[in-house]
Structure 1
Amino acid sequence: MVIPVHDVNPVRRTPWVTYALIAANVLVFITTPGIAGSVAGSSELAQLCHLQAFMDHYAAVPRELIHHQMPRVVPTGEVGLGPGGPGCVVGPPGYDKSPPLSVFTAMFLHGGWLHLLGNMLFLLIFGNNVEDRMGHIRFFLFYVVCGYAAGYGFALLNATSSDPLIGASGAIAGVLGAYLVLYPRARVWVLVPFLVFLPLRLPAWLVLGFWFGLQAVYSSGHGVSGAGTVAYAAHVVGFVAGMLLAWPLKPGTPPPPEPPGLLFGRRARPHYSW
């Protein structure tokens, strides 16, 4: 897996929506009840129960999205003593949850620092240019639509699942799909793990195409055990949605600057004619 760190594609205006989305995701993360203990590896049961209840309330659950049925019992956030010892108490939900709205709130929830920082890195690198091309308001609407497409697409493929779906990666996958359509030849600095991290400058079509290929393979269950706990199918759906929505903008998109004499991050040897 390559790690993008910077793209060679300047913008004409400040990407305020991209910055605001990053700030909102970070703010929600650090104020999520119980997240500090979970991130620090703490096993304090009260914190874990509180976090579980919060996620169940605001995360998107495929079964709820497809069947519009709330479960009869949900985590309450309290700790109780059962036959098997201390555990999280469950009971009737004390709130009214809107499944469609939960798709939006789930876009700002993350399960750990690595999950958050990975998503924000991709949004920072690729979101600014897509916002620059679309404009602030259209980019925000585009981001939300891609997030909803990813959430409901995943739910349709996992209609009976009661596992919560969280994270901005579905919406950000849409941003990546749009970037691939609009700026396929833009150069992206990446770190490639090979004994050490090798810095290379690669075309966006290669970086994002490779990323999408991995998501497609993983979503089919190949390469990871049971597809892991990552919603790879949501990434695939979000990416395709982003490509389709950005396609009408492609004809009027100016090409990114092409650094002269560069070949995959190294300066090519000049050819002289005598």
Structure 2
Amino acid sequence: MIPIGDRIRSYSKPIINYWLIGINIAIFLWELKLEFSGELGYFINNWGVIPAQMSGAITNALFFNPAAWIVVIWRSISLILGMFLHGSFSQILGNMLFLWVFGKTLENILGHRSYLGFYLAAGIITGVTQIIADPNLTVPLIGANGAIAAILGAYIMKFSQTKIDTILPLLIVYIPIEVPAFVYLFWWFMQQSFYGIGSLNIPPSGVNSSNMFYWSQVVGLFIGAAFMRLKR
């Protein structure tokens, strides 16, 4: 199923959503350039969320060297930048499609600043969840999946029965249908298994290999649902 839009009237342009999509795509194009030059592995391993590095820096700062808090603060930047990095064509396309369809409506009801704050906070919290759940993981975790999951959770809490205009590919025929928004709650997790398609070459050990990377998106869904519940 490919979501293409909803029928909810917008009263302002989703400027933040446009910028988020544009930044994600621009950085992915930069990743392609780095892959071609052989520098992508270095870039991702420096700016992706690596739980072992973060947990090690925090332990060092708490018990051995207070000056190591500088390293903690520096590594914390990856919680934000890592949200804008993607490891495959299928991951960037899937995330940006869901962001386009569900994010623009959410921005319309939250307002530009609140929507941006919500997006970034959801991504950071899911990143912290991944670090706590698997503190010894040495593989980078990247992608906007946590933030997109939160957007989906908030959207479904607010518009669970809204019909989503959807295209159903059937061989070479594309059938337009309408699907209730809550159906995409299940489809979001099903499509995660396809995010390895079109993977970039990221040495030495790839990205997002932890099962917690996918389960942490449940946290994102709950963040979005809880946030929208409190907004009522």
Q: TM-score, normalised by structure 2?
A: 0.78
Q: Deviations over 1:81-139 (max 9, x none)?
A: xxxxxxxxxxxxxxx67222210010111123332122111101100111111111011
Aligned residue for 2:165, secondary structure, equals strand
Aligned to 2:49: 60
Structure with the largest fraction of strand: 1
Q: Share of identical aligned residues, percent? A: 30
Deviation of the 1:22 alpha carbon:
0.8
User: Match of 2:223, as an amino acid?
Assistant: A
Aligned to 1:19: 18
> Gaps (5+ residues) in structure 1?
71-95, 219-226, 251-274
CA contact 2:152–2:221 (8 Å) conserved in 1? yes
User: Match of 1:233, as an amino acid?
Assistant: W
Aligned to 2:182: 205
Alignment of 1:156-167 (within 5 A): 156-167=132-143
- Which is bigger in relative contact order (C-alpha 8 A, separation at least 6)? 2
CA contact 1:146–1:174 (8 Å) conserved in 2? yes
2:77 to 101, 105, 126: 101
CA contact 1:215–1:232 (8 Å) conserved in 2? no
User: Does residue 245 of structure 1 match 2:219?
Assistant: no
Structure with the largest fraction of helix: 2
User: Match of 2:108, as an amino acid?
Assistant: D
CA contact 1:182–1:249 (8 Å) conserved in 2? no
User: Does residue 31 of structure 1 match 2:30?
Assistant: yes
Cα 1:143–1:210 change in 2 (3 A) is same
Q: TM-score, normalised by structure 1?
A: 0.67
Q: Deviations over 1:120-159 (max 9, x none)?
A: 1110110011111111101110001110111111222222
Deviation of the 1:234 alpha carbon:
2.7
Aligned residue for 1:68, secondary structure, equals helix
User: What is the Cα-based RMSD across aligned positions, in Å?
Assistant: 2.7
Deviation of the 1:37 alpha carbon:
6.8
Aligned residue for 2:100, secondary structure, equals helix
Deviation of the 1:202 alpha carbon:
1.0
Cα 1:241–1:66 change in 2 (3 A) is farther
Aligned to 1:257: none
> Gaps (5+ residues) in structure 2?
60-70, 194-207
Larger radius of gyration: 1
Counterpart CA distance in 1 for 2:143 and 2:131 is 14
CA contact 1:181–1:243 (8 Å) conserved in 2? yes
Deviation of the 1:174 alpha carbon:
0.7
Deviation of the 1:65 alpha carbon:
2.9
The total of aligned residue pairs comes to 205
CA contact 1:63–1:69 (8 Å) conserved in 2? no
